[in-house]
């Protein structure tokens, strides 16, 4: 530091320190404020859960949290996040017994649900309310008859284009790759079909209202109901409605076997 | 030529009966008595395995009958119409007239669904019986000289039946048959050089076009049945001309036929058996739903369902297509660019090779064994272990391909991964046929060995004897005399010693004791002489 160079008079040391502290404080306030304003978790915590949802959270924290994690945010390698799957997904997965899963495998099979009767209804509704309030997502319409006003003819056309490539013409279901499969629809209820369409469980794509309007969903359900009640005019045995493969088995097991016995019989007579 | 009129009250009439008179009148003009007598006296050997071809024949008759009924109502047109029939779930849906008329047959024609199902079951049975019959011919060596031509005709008949089945499957124009036609179209395109022209001339342009159903219809109801009828005629004529093969046995030699005459016994049995086949098909049609076209919906190119299978006899080609890696080859030759479609190998080469092998088999075997003799006696499969092994190999190959053709249905039904099914099929297709050959060959040798043991040491009696030195041995009953035949079952139980067939009361075996074998001495010169007033015998002998 040379003394010849003309120097401006430096500001007071105290003033400089004050200015620095002020800017830091402002920056901290800004970041903190922004965080407070936008952080979702804090916001959610701000709105209290409805009593049903709180009941659902209690159930969730016992039965679901192992795989789907705290606040339904998912656990890597175990279960997906449930943010945004909506009550439709809960109703489908829990109501058909697919969740909770017995073990990790290619696909959760449907099985007897964890609860029965009214308890099942109440607990499913509670869980559904919790997931819905937590992250939103597709909702379910009320009532059990969701095919009202549906046209099975139109529904059949939609079914064959959108659904039959996995669930088969006759709703018998089919195999997907690597052990996954599309289940048969023979026992499916209106609500299950609707919930599956809007939530897209497991390998199934979502058929939102922009793909299939609610009216078209009703049509599809009406067609599936028709399939279920078709009554198979062709005979007592439907061969699983699996098409030519079981027919091929039948012609050998029944037709050829019967005629082999017949030829043994007739050749033995004189 | 003695008349059959026996001395009795009627013989006292001075002129012949009115019937005989009419018969003579007819014969003087038609001269049919002599050939007819040959025909009616034709001797057929009797064995259950000889009836398998008859199952095919009678199901073809049922196919003709039911098919004629169906043509009365079927409309082979691809004209677009809107369905307004009685099946609710398709009302208001646009479809071809062919599909609509199939629905009409199924729901609005009295008995239509039943007849349609009968037709379809009869088709499956026709093919199944052909394949089982073919296996019987193969494993017993019935294709050997002089019957190679009939084997060739039989193989051609299989492919005709295959085409008949496939065209029939394509006619209703439902989504399943459309998918099948689409695959057939793709296989045609995969034929090198001519494929494109072949496909576009058959479909009159790009797939699906406007004419294919009608063309398939003409093939199904006119061209193919006519060819099939012609070949069946030739097949049977050759059986008549060359006479049926028979199993070896007492009195049965390479130069005679032992069995029952065409009229009355054999004809009666044939009629009864036709009725049994008819009844079986009718039962299947009444009890088992087949090809529910109303579930499949009309064909649309965008619609492909899971579990889209062809009928069982096409499924081996579906399987080969599913198993074969998707290898597409592109190459240039003489400045032209060619593409070999992935379908070329499993869809064109494989069936081609299989057909050529099947057609050539009798000649190949003749060449390798240098056996140019005439064979009218059948062989027991165990006595020809190599051929039996080859047959087992072929059956294994076919079954693996067929199962793989339905591998998605198998995967779904038995909770197996579809990928695992595909790989199991691929590996199995290479490993299992040789394994089947080896096992079958060993089993045949083992059975031969046991036969030889019985011939050398006698039948096991089940009596265990203790020797003075403490050993235990089973007492064997020697056969006594040498068997006067080879190539037929060796007696292995005490009560079957020397018997041609077990003389046990039962459902599948004759209640009366089997007749004594006819004299081995050469039959009477005219070959058809009845044994006369003596003891009634069950069997007749005809010279070849």
Domains and CATH numbers, chain A: 45-135 (1.10.760.10), 152-234 (1.10.760.10)
The answer to whether the CB of A183 falls within 8 A of the CB of B414 is no
User: How many C-beta neighbours within 10 Å does residue B29 have?
Assistant: 8
Residues of A in Cβ contact (< 8 Å) with B300: 160-161
User: Distance between CA B310 and CA B124 in Å, rounded?
Assistant: 11
Task: Give pLDDT tens digits for B188-237.
Answer: 999 988 999 999 999 998 888 889 999 999 999 999 999 999 999 999 99
User: Distance between CA B267 and CA B273 in Å, rounded?
Assistant: 10
The answer to whether the CB of B56 falls within 8 A of the CB of B274 is no
Of A204-218, B115-129, B355-369, B454-468, minimum mean pLDDT range = B454-468
Q: Do A156 and B93 touch (CB under 8 A)?
A: yes
Query: How close is the nearest chain A Cα to the Cα of B516, in Å?
Result: 14
The partner residue sitting opposite B51, judged by closest CB among A248, A252, A267, is: A267
Residues of B in Cβ contact (< 8 Å) with A176: 418
Residues 6+ apart with CB under 8 A from A258: B280
Measure CA B340 to chain center.
34
Residue of A186, A219, A236, A255 to mutate for B, most B C-beta atoms under 10 A? A255
- In the block, tokens 């198998």 appear at B410
User: Distance between CA B63 and CA B59 in Å, rounded?
Assistant: 6
Q: Residue B219 carries which DSSP code?
A: I
Residue of B307, B414, B421 to mutate for A, most A C-beta atoms under 10 A? B307
Per-residue pLDDT band at B168 (split at 50, 70, 90): very high
Element (H, E) at B460: strand B459-466
Residues of A in Cβ contact (< 8 Å) with B125: 251, 255-256, 259
A179 touching chain B per CB within 8 A: yes
SS3 B481: coil
The fold adopted by the segment(s) B44-311 is Cytochrome Bc1 Complex; Chain C (1.20.810)
Residues 6+ apart with CB under 8 A from B174: B99, B102, B293, B296, B297, B298, B299
Global ipTM? 0.85
Q: What is the predicted pLDDT for the residue at B52?
A: 93
Q: Do A251 and B309 touch (CB under 8 A)?
A: no
Q: Do B121 and A259 touch (CB under 8 A)?
A: no
Q: What is the predicted pLDDT for the residue at B521?
A: 45
pLDDT exceeds cutoff 80 at A235: yes
Residues 6+ apart with CB under 8 A from A126: A52, A53, A55, A56, A59
Residues of A in Cβ contact (< 8 Å) with B121: 251, 255
Angle at Cα B314 formed by Cα B398 and Cα B78, nearest 5°?
A: 175
Q: Do A168 and B306 touch (CB under 8 A)?
A: yes
Domain ranges of chain B: 11-40, 44-311
More confident residue, A107 or B124: B124
Residue B498: Cβ-neighbour burial (10 angstroms; 0-12, 13-18, 19+): exposed
Per-residue pLDDT band at A265 (split at 50, 70, 90): confident
Residue A100: is the preceding peptide bond cis (ω within 30°)? yes
Q: Do B92 and A151 touch (CB under 8 A)?
A: yes
User: Distance between CA B388 and CA B382 in Å, rounded?
Assistant: 7
Restricting to A residues 156-175, those with a Cβ less than 8 Å away from any Cβ of B are 156-157, 160-161, 164-170, 172-175
CA dihedral in degrees (A18, A19, A24, A27; nearest 10)? 140
Query: How close is the nearest chain B Cα to the Cα of A136, in Å?
Result: 34
Average pLDDT over residues B171-179: 93
Which range among A66-70, A175-179, A189-193, B112-116 has the greatest average pLDDT? B112-116
User: Distance between CA B328 and CA B340 in Å, rounded?
Assistant: 6
The answer to whether the CB of B412 falls within 8 A of the CB of A173 is yes
Residue of B277, B284, B306 to mutate for A, most A C-beta atoms under 10 A? B306
Task: Give pLDDT tens digits for B436-470.
Answer: 999 999 999 999 999 888 888 888 878 899 999 99
State the Rg of chain B over Cα.
29
Residues of B in Cβ contact (< 8 Å) with A249: 312
Q: What's the mean pLDDT when you consider all of chain B?
A: 87
Q: Do A268 and B309 touch (CB under 8 A)?
A: no
- In the block, tokens 């009355």 appear at B264
Residues of B in Cβ contact (< 8 Å) with A243: 176, 307-309, 409
Element (H, E) at B135: helix B112-140
Residues of A in Cβ contact (< 8 Å) with B423: none
Residues 6+ apart with CB under 8 A from B31: none
User: Distance between CA B36 and CA A75 in Å, rounded?
Assistant: 88
pLDDT exceeds cutoff 50 at B513: no
A257 touching chain B per CB within 8 A: no
Query: How close is the nearest chain A Cα to the Cα of B24, in Å?
Result: 32
Q: What is the predicted pLDDT for the residue at B481?
A: 67
User: Distance between CA B121 and CA B280 in Å, rounded?
Assistant: 10
**Chains A & B: contacts with CB separation below 8 Å:** 230
Residue of A nearest to B408 (CA): A175
A106 touching chain B per CB within 8 A: yes
Nearest to B171 by CA among B126, B202, B211, B216: B216
pLDDT exceeds cutoff 90 at A243: no
pLDDT exceeds cutoff 60 at B7: no
CA dihedral in degrees (B525, B529, B531, B536; nearest 10)? 150
User: Distance between CA A38 and CA A31 in Å, rounded?
Assistant: 11
């Amino acid at each position: 530091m040379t003394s010849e160079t003309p120097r401006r008079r430096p500001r007071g040391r105290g003033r400089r320190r004050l200015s620095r502290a002020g800017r830091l404080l402002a920056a901290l306030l800004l970041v903190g404020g922004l965080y407070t304003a936008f952080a979702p978790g804090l916001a959610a915590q701000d709105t209290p859960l409805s009593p049903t949802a709180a009941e659902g959270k209690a159930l969730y924290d016992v039965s679901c949290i192992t795989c789907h994690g705290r606040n339904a945010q998912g656990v890597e390698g175990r279960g997906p996040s449930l943010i945004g799957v909506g009550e439709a997904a809960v109703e489908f997965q829990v109501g058909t017994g697919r969740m909770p899963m017995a073990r990790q495998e290619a696909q959760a099979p449907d099985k007897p649900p964890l609860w029965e009767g009214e308890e099942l209804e109440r607990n499913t509704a509670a869980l559904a309310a919790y997931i819905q309030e937590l992250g939103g997502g597709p909702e379910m319409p009320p009532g059990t008859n969701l095919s009202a006003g549906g046209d099975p003819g139109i529904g059949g056309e939609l079914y064959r284009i959108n659904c039959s490539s996995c669930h088969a013409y006759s709703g018998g279901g089919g195999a997907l790759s690597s052990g996954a499969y599309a289940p048969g629809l023979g026992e499916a209820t209106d609500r299950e079909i609707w919930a599956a369409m809007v939530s897209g469980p497991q390998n199934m794509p979502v058929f939102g209202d922009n793909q299939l309007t609610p009216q078209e969903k009703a049509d599809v359900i009406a067609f599936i109901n028709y399939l279920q009640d078709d009554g198979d005019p062709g005979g007592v045995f439907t061969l699983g409605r699996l098409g030519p493969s079981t027919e091929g088995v039948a012609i050998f097991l029944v037709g050829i076997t019967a005629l082999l016995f017949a030829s043994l019989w007739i050749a033995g007579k004189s | 030529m003695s008349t059959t009129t026996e001395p009795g009250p009627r013989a006292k009439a001075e002129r012949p009966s009115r019937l005989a008179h009419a018969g003579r009148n007819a014969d003087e003009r038609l001269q049919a008595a002599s050939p007819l007598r040959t025909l009616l006296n034709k001797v057929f050997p009797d064995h259950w395995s000889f009836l398998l071809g008859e199952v095919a024949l009678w199901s073809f008759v049922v196919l003709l009958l039911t098919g004629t009924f169906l043509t009365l109502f079927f409309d082979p047109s691809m004209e677009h119409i809107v369905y307004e029939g009685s099946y609710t779930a398709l009302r208001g849906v646009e479809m071809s007239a062919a599909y609509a008329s199939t629905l009409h047959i199924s729901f609005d024609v009295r008995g239509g669904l039943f007849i349609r199902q009968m037709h379809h079951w009869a088709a499956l049975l026709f093919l199944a019986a052909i394949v089982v019959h073919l296996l019987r011919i193969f494993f017993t060596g019935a294709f050997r000289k002089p019957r190679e031509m009939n084997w060739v005709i039989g193989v051609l008949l299989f492919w005709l039946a295959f085409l008949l089945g496939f065209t029939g499957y394509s006619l209703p124009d439902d989504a399943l048959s459309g998918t099948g036609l689409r695959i057939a179209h793709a296989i045609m395109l995969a034929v090198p050089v001519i494929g494109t022209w072949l496909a576009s001339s058959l479909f009159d342009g790009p797939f699906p076009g406007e004419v294919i159903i009608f063309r398939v219809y003409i093939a199904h109801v006119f061209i193919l049945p006519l060819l099939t009828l012609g070949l069946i005629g030739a097949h049977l004529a050759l059986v008549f001309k060359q006479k049926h093969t028979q199993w070896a046995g007492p009195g049965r030699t390479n130069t005679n036929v032992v069995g029952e005459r065409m009229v009355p016994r054999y004809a009666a049995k044939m009629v009864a058996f036709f009725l049994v086949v008819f009844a079986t098909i009718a039962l299947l049609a009444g009890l088992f739903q087949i090809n529910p076209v109303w579930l499949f919906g009309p064909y649309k190119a965008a619609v492909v369902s899971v579990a889209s299978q062809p009928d069982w006899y096409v499924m081996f080609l579906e399987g080969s297509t599913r198993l074969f890696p998707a290898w597409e080859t592109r190459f240039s030759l003489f400045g032209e660019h060619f593409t070999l479609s992935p379908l070329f190998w499993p869809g064109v080469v494989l069936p081609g090779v299989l057909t050529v092998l099947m057609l050539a088999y009798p000649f190949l075997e003749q060449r390798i064994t240098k056996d140019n003799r005439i064979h009218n006696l059948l062989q027991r499969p165990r006595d020809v272990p190599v051929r039996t092994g080859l047959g087992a190999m072929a059956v294994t190959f076919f079954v693996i391909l067929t199962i793989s053709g339905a591998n998605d249905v198998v995967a779904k039904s038995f909770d197996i991964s579809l990928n695992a099914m595909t790989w199991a099929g691929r590996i199995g297709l290479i490993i299992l046929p040789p394994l089947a050959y080896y096992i079958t060959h060993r089993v045949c040798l083992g059975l031969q060995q046991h036969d030889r043991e019985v011939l050398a040491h006698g039948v096991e009696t089940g009596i265990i004897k203790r020797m003075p030195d403490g050993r235990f041995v089973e007492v064997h009953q020697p056969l006594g005399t040498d068997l006067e035949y080879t190539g037929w079952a060796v007696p292995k139980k005490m009560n079957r010693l020397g018997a041609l067939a077990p003389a046990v009361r039962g459902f599948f075996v004759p209640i009366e004791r089997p007749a004594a074998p006819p004299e081995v001495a050469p039959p009477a010169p005219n070959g058809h002489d009845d044994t006369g007033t003596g003891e009634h015998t069950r069997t007749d002998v005809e010279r070849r």
